[in-house]
Structure 1
Amino acid sequence: MSLKMERKGSEMFVDERRFATDRRPWFGQLPERIGKNFTFAVMGDRCGMALPGVFEKGLAILQDLKPDFVLFVGDLVEGYGMDSEEARNEWEYIDAQIAATGLPFFQTIGNHDFGTQTLVDVWRERKGIEYYAFRVGDVLFLILNTEDPFEELSDELIARVKLAAANIRRDPERASEYVKAFDDEVVASMSPDQLQDVGKARVGLGDEQLAFFENVLASNADAKYTFVSMHKPGWKSDSSSFARLREMIGSRPHTIFAGHFHSLEYSRTNEACQIQLGRTGAASHGEGKGDQNLLLWVSMRSGVPSIRVVHLDGITEPADYPPRHP
């Protein structure tokens, strides 16, 4: 286990023993002279079944607002069922959009990014490492891979995902109709036991990954606050590995960000805050306020976070307000 441990204003931690590569799943660098007070944004799922242009709108807004950096909770590409060249093409497009903002952008693996062996191979080719950590002043960030190992989907389910995604790309105005048809087909194919587990997440956190984060936490015991970014919400799973992670975090003040279910939910227990991100471009699976396209804005002030929800559909251009004529 190798950790880069100089104490600076910002630091990156990588499991160099497991990932012998210079590839990295983030864009840009953390500011070297960042202080105790800083801001960052958290973006939700772009996929599955992405609505064209929505994630890009979120990036454009953040480019104007200029947070110190951006966290993303996973599912940047549709992924499932593609061959290597298709996967590379999809990554080429979205990576270029992110790089063009000039913002430091820290990615978390989602099931759409890492859901088949082909996608795993392309990720490793382009991004290298699968989990990591960093520190900004007195604040520690853990970026997990909940697909360690990834969950195999049937060819039939992958075909349904691909069809729904293609329909939405072709006719985004009917997205809710295509999502409902997809959901109805999936539910109809499930057994009673499977239906009982619909709201649960299957979280995988391998032993090497947990050992890495145990080391990071021990080496940063003086951090005043800890953020965790994971794609699937571990608190909605029966995962013993997630339970072990929570034991490692212990009584540290912390917030866990997750995604996957495309709907914003917030809960708090003592010093622990859990936020399931809504979507930032992915298809909606509901009609409530938390199902809208959104992102989070986080302001850190002397080790204490203030979190605000920014609804993208409420942010418009001045040209949307033409003069009124009598």
Structure 2
Amino acid sequence: MNPHLALGDPADGGVTDAGGHDGHDSHDSHDSHDGANVRGPWTHLRIADDPDRFSFALISDRTGIARPGVFERGIAALNLLRPAFAIQLGDLIEGYADDDEVAAGWDEVDRILAPLDAPLFLVPGNHDVFDAASRDRWLSRHGRLHHHFRYKDVLFLVLDCQDPPPELSPRAREALANLPGYAARDPEAVRRMVETSIDWEGTQTMAALSEEQIAWAEGVIAENADVRWTFVLMHMPLWQGEGHPAVHRIRTALGGRPHTMFAGHVHNYKAVDIDGNTHIRLGPTGGLWVKPHDDTGNFDHITWITMEADGPHIANVTLEGLRDAQGRPLA
């Protein structure tokens, strides 16, 4: 029986079961209250409020051609649902622009994130860190790229998939910088072009993780061998295709430890099981849908994870399915 639950006195002066026994019969099979068995209009009294239980949320790509207002609805959803904390999986700004536009993009993100009540941990995406200058700006604003934290004996390992950032030709930079404008004029043409230009189901060829970062991750895993679960968070789903070498090394370091990996980047939801561990590629929270002719995985959402004794319980909350306390759609 939960020590914080106090059952009121029954209106008829006694709690009885269908056979007429009072609730203090030691043979009653129902939950105990203050040392006595109690029967009542409830299924059971095993309330899930273990102190090691907690919930956190993931929010995914805002950009890669942001659709106005969608990410803002994601922030409003987090404020309604009240997670202990949230993690954003990268691509907050459009990027691939000159320094003034990048600075303006981050100022816009600051305004969007200002209403968020929960702590928010950031994962760098390829639109956020795309060259040396944008990397320096990230570091000046956020202090670090790859990082880790531990909460209630659960390890959160955040990877940087742009380490180092790719060397793009001026022509490629210009094309990426112009994509939002093209999308505003002809969104279907841009969707088709984006879909066909990248092997979305394969290993992400733009991804890079330095030897220093991989060794750091291996060290963090070794130093936190006593955790009950490990979450590995990255922008690009490095487990796809043959798998990025960094993921193979991280899996080796984890050994048989239970873990879950999350990524964004593709703007299309897909969950797979690899060696008994769940790997989830999130859909977007405002970024362009990349599979317009296949509804599978196409939805804007946040991902809600409740950590319990038997592991994480994962739910996806689509933004169009939430309304506030007055019954209004999220603005």
TM-score between both structures, scaled by the size of structure 2 = 0.77
One of 59, 62, 79 as aligned partner of 2:95: 79
Amino acid at match of 2:194: D
Shift of 1:293: 0.9
The one of 45, 51, 54 equivalent to 1:38 is 54
Separation (CA, whole Å) in 1 of partners of 2:232 and 2:104: 30
Q: Any idea what SS the aligned residue of 1:95 has?
A: helix
1:1-326 matches, cutoff 5 A: 35-80=51-96, 82-168=97-183, 170=184, 175-180=187-192, 182-183=193-194, 187=197, 199-202=202-205, 203-236=207-240, 238-287=243-292, 288-302=295-309, 304-316=311-323, 318-319=327-328
Could you tell me how far 1:167 is from its partner in structure 2? 4.0
Measure the CA separation in 1 of the matches of 2:109 and 2:269: 23
Which structure has the bigger radius of gyration? 2
1: CA distance, partners of 2:301 / 2:231: 19
Pick closer, same or farther for the CA change 1:157–1:198 going to 2, 3 Å.
Answer: farther
| CA distance in structure 2 between the partners assigned to 1:67 and 1:197 by the alignment | 30
**How many Å separate the matches in 2 of 1:209 and 1:263?**
27
Q: 1:175 to 1:293 in 2, by over 3 A?
A: farther
Deviations 1:234-263 (A, max 9, x none): 112553222111111121100000111111
User: Is the Cα–Cα contact under 8 Å of residues 138 and 303 in structure 1 kept in the other structure?
Assistant: no
The amino acid of 2:202's aligned partner reads G
Residue 319 of structure 1, CA deviation = 4.5
The 2-side partners of 1:147 and 1:78 are apart by: 15
Identity %: 35
Shift of 1:196: 7.1
> Any conservation in 1 of the 2:88–2:122 contact (CA below 8 Å)?
yes
- Between 1:53-62 and 1:211-220, the stretch displaced more is 211-220
1:213 and 1:104 mapped to 2: Cα distance?
23
Kindly tell me the number of residue pairs found equivalent between the two proteins. 274
- Amino acid in the other structure paired with 2:81: L
- Root mean square deviation, CA, Å: 2.2
* Deviation sequence 1:100-152 (CA, Å, 0-9, x none): 21211011011111112221121122112111101111211000001111222
Amino acid at match of 2:71: F
Cα deviation for residue 211 of structure 1 reads 2.0
CA distance in 1, matches of 2:117, 2:200: 41
Letter in 2 for 1:229: L
String of CA shifts for 1:35-66, please: whole Å, max 9, x gaps. Answer: 41100111111111111110011001111111
Q: Distance in 2 between matches of 1:135 and 1:276?
A: 22
Residue pair 1:292, 1:313 contacting (<8 A) in 2 also: no
Contact 1:78–1:113 under 8 Å retained in 2: yes
Distance 1:276-1:304 versus aligned 2 partners, 3 A rule: same
2:17 counterpart residue number: none
- Find the aligned partners of 2:94 and 2:194 in 1 and give their Cα distance: 17
Could you tell me which runs of 5 or more consecutive residues in structure 1 were left unpaired when the two chains were aligned: 1-33, 188-194, 321-326
